[in-house]
Structure 1
């Protein structure tokens, strides 16, 4: 009996890997319908429970999509990125965790080319005050330059950590001292550190669906079980998640401006999430990736600023507020954890760059960050309206994008039965980045397109709209709306 119980998990893993490999190498083509589980189990010579376990994992990882009343399908998004190695091309000798890390390219392949309309997540960089930044760099004293050229504190320079703490209180209402701030190279490294220090292999993590694939990829790379949770008009559907996955140890959310749908988490849902964390002794990671870009008079505060938010880890980045090339971000942690997180960072890349930390600290302290963000908020509001107008004209009114009081992109949702990939491929052939909403889903049936506007001037927005306007008009007129 003991030997049989030990073989069962191994058999489940083998079935999972067999099906996954068949999907990745095209033997089970993208978009194809899978056999009913009873028939499929008989074909494979395994129990139905074994197959259901493998299918549930494949569905959670985005390889399989279940359609109510219509069975299960291989995800239509399953297309290896250009230039990405298949599993057979991976270097020999990798550990299991090494394979998980290498295979994250299946879930997330960050862009390498220069941004163009309508790619999302790209801030305005031409208007960045490079002259001011360079001047602050020249003002560094000889002693500061010598200090910055040495090995530094992996948690970040005290002067920058202090500046960040003061900025968070003034801008996002977060009360924290500098000792809780750890400087890292953007939000992606922050998520990586969370995965390394807070999760064991097999631990369950709640993520938004749709949601940011870079988060899912990082967690999967650490061996976590990623549990996709649907969204409604108030944000993460927490009750459903708690009923389905009561053992989850962590939840990762974007409560101010949900990525990519743009939903703002309601106060009642925020309080429920904090109660869940306290009750389950779990943790919440708040990714406030573009929380500074709220355009109304009343701004939504950070989840981390609410009472009873002591189990919230706050992640911020300067990649959106300044520019991605800076490679600086931060995470606000419980004081007792900072040294462990700093040591984990030191094991991979030792510490943040010295001169950039000193300059950024002065950039914040002297008010340049505040002034830059004021300009960007005004500019992004203008560009959002330019995008809306350009698409309305190019589609002859077929695509009336609604405006938003926050963010750097707009989302146009489609009814769930419709495909959003084909039009994206047609747009790409015309040199326009039209991101399908399905790229960010795991089990969610949501479909649509995302339109980034922040980093593009009026002429580029208009040109891109003219290129895809006829395609959008035709697609929407044939029932995709």
Structure 2
């Protein structure tokens, strides 16, 4: 058999094994907790090579369908049961999708971005009621007929030049990042940034290190492109880089949230940061720094971005205005090495050409005139007050059963429970009572960490107090951790 055909046949076989196992899990034939056969026995039963079975199982593990237990084999994960239930509730995707199209459609079983109106304690929701809309509208009205006509044309897919310049100056002042405006590529938020990075820098079956627990939207974007998301465990210093790179030596990229890890809230220590940068240089790999809420540091000393450290040439910095201003703007950016700017701009052009010209122009002026700085100062004070209100109200309402530690950064708090414990039941009860409470287990791949996540930034103190009272009363019935 010619080599090309042999490779094609191997790829087809392992894809078939993967799809059969996944279908069995999703349809309930293989239930949560079921132990998979040893790879040698499984391969012999199917009449394929052991490597074919191992590839399929590793892919299922990367997607969270199975979990490996050291010295005990591979089991269908508990998370897979929930994913299977959710996927069965969704409308079946249309027939005729390509493999990549099917991968994209399948992300609905793993990640469903919320579209309902935000209620306490939804994660990632910023304050929007007090946004300076009057200032924004005034800046928009200042544009003359000629400027409006120019903005109505097809524009540079990399972004408005004035906005790119404003972002570069802002990053130097606020995050310690030295970059040229020509390195800034404007996109529609961090989600599109991750999608562009996956399309341009990764191939099918490439391995990427992701935080575990971590943001499901990142994993969804990677898996939709056929990339294998490999878990990095978290501890008090952030992602366990050395352990992950030793376990997954073929990884091409790591995606991290070093300033305020999502969702555990840990700040990556300097030693870990330097280790990560050294790994990227040594292995010619990429590091993606998702600085989703890095502007919300409340202490006197603010930690600069990973991208600002010496030796960060292999770091792609992803920023978003969805948290600093509001999600409705749909504006974010990537800071890329100069050689990658044109490919990223072309990928943006192919996707949706460019961001709206009027919005980009107003945002550039909003930043340049100091309105972003003033808004963030107000939000930092507001968020600190809301965080304290949440901690006090929840401790009182739960008779001390739920104690949240104070944090000097971020927009949410984590209440952690015993590893492997059930953190879904309280969330279901809270949901039935009108409160959006997320379980930590929804964010894990292989980790046994459990708990509840409380977003507080986008809700006034009255709503926070009422929601805390509801959750606190439910929590009184729980066994003490």
TM-score normalized by the length of structure 2: 0.94
Residue 41 of structure 1 corresponds to 42
Whether 2:284 is the aligned partner of 1:281: answer: yes
Using the alignment, how far apart are the partners of 1:245 and 1:83 within structure 2? Answer: 30
Aligned residue-pair number: 477
Structure 2 residue corresponding to 1:453, chosen from 452, 456, 463:
456
Inter-partner Cα distance in structure 1 for 2:193 and 2:385: 32
1: CA distance, partners of 2:12 / 2:89: 23
Partners of 2:277 and 2:270 in 1: CA distance? 11
- SS of the equivalent of 1:331 reads strand
Residue aligning to 2:406: 403
* 1:102-123 residue CA offsets vs partner (Å, 9 max, x unmatched): 1111221100101101111000
- Counting only pairs closer than 5 Å after superposition, residues 207-246 of structure 1 correspond to structure 2 as 207-246=210-249
TM-aligned CA distance change 1:85 to 1:184, over 3 Å: farther
Looking at structure 1, the residues matched to 173 and 154 of structure 2 have their Cα atoms a distance apart, in angstroms, of 31
The answer for the alignment partner of 2:114 in structure 1 is 111
* Of 307, 310, 320, the match for 2:310: 307
Provide the residue aligned with 2:16 in structure 1: 14
* Deviation of the 1:65 alpha carbon: 2.9
Moved more, 359-368 or 104-113: 104-113
- Identify unmatched segments of 5+ residues in structure 2: none
Task: Tell me, in whole angstroms, the C-alpha distance in 1 between the residues paired with 2:355 and 2:228.
Answer: 30
In structure 2, the CA distance between the partners of 1:94 and 1:370, relative to structure 1 (3 Å rule), is: same
Flag the 1:5–1:139 CA change in 2: closer, same or farther, 3 A.
closer
Counterparts of residues 242-257 of structure 1 (less than 5 Å): 242-257=245-260
Shift of 1:98: 1.3
Distance in 1 (CA, whole Å) between partners of 2:234 and 2:392 is 29
User: What is the deviation of 1:45?
Assistant: 4.0
Tell me the distance in 2 between the aligned counterparts of 1:95 and 1:403: 48
Instruction: Return 38-47 or 121-130, whichever deviates more.
Output: 38-47
Deviation digits for residues 396-455 of structure 1 (CA, Å, limit 9, x no counterpart): 011111000000000111111311112211111111111010111111111111010000
**1:95 and 2:98 matched:** yes
SS at match of 1:285: strand
Aligned partner of residue 159 in structure 2, secondary structure: coil
Aligned residue runs from structure 1 range 117-132, under 5 A: 117-132=120-135
CA distance in 2 between counterparts of 1:43 and 1:247 reads: 27
Deviation at residue 282 of structure 1 after TM alignment: 0.8
Correspondence 1:332 to 2:335: yes
Relative distance call for 1:93 and 1:265 in structure 2 (3 A) is same
Change (3 A) 1:65 1:425: farther
Q: Kindly tell me: are residues 39 and 182 of structure 1, through their superposed partners in 2, closer, same or farther at Cα, counting changes over 3 Å?
A: closer
CA drift of 1:60 comes to 1.4
Structure 2 match to 1:76: 78
| Alpha-carbon spacing, 1:170–1:472, altered in 2? closer, same or farther (3 Å) | same
